[in-house]
Amino acid sequence: MPDATGYAAVKALLPLITPYSITDDTAGAKYYALAVEQQQNDAPRLTETQAQTAQCYWIAHLMASHDGKTGITSEHLGQWSASFSTTAAGTDIYYAQYRQF
């Protein structure tokens, strides 16, 4: 469930780990509410810090998808590597980081 303390933490962390930020307006609150709901559905047992980090990556994923930013087209898990493309719809790096949680 979204709360003011969690919102403040995510709002502060988001620009530190992504190029995006949210503000204290309707859009910012909606992004946060969507991120909380998605994280609770996907990984309800995360610690508070893990949950807030995952929520930041989900918000960045939504914003990157909207902006048409770079996406991952190929990845390897052993000795991590990735190939990037600006045309990879729905495969942005923030979604990949979110999925790690």
pTM (2 decimals)?
A: 0.75
- The tens digit of pLDDT for each residue in 61-91 reads 988 866 655 555 555 566 666 555 554 444 5
Q: How far apart are CA 57 and CA 10, in angstroms?
A: 10
- The tens digit of pLDDT for each residue in 14-57 reads 999 999 999 988 989 999 999 999 999 999 999 999 999 999 99
Asked if 101 and 54 count as a contact pair (C-beta separation under 8 A), the reply is yes
The dihedral of CA 64, 66, 70, 74: what is its sign?
Answer: positive
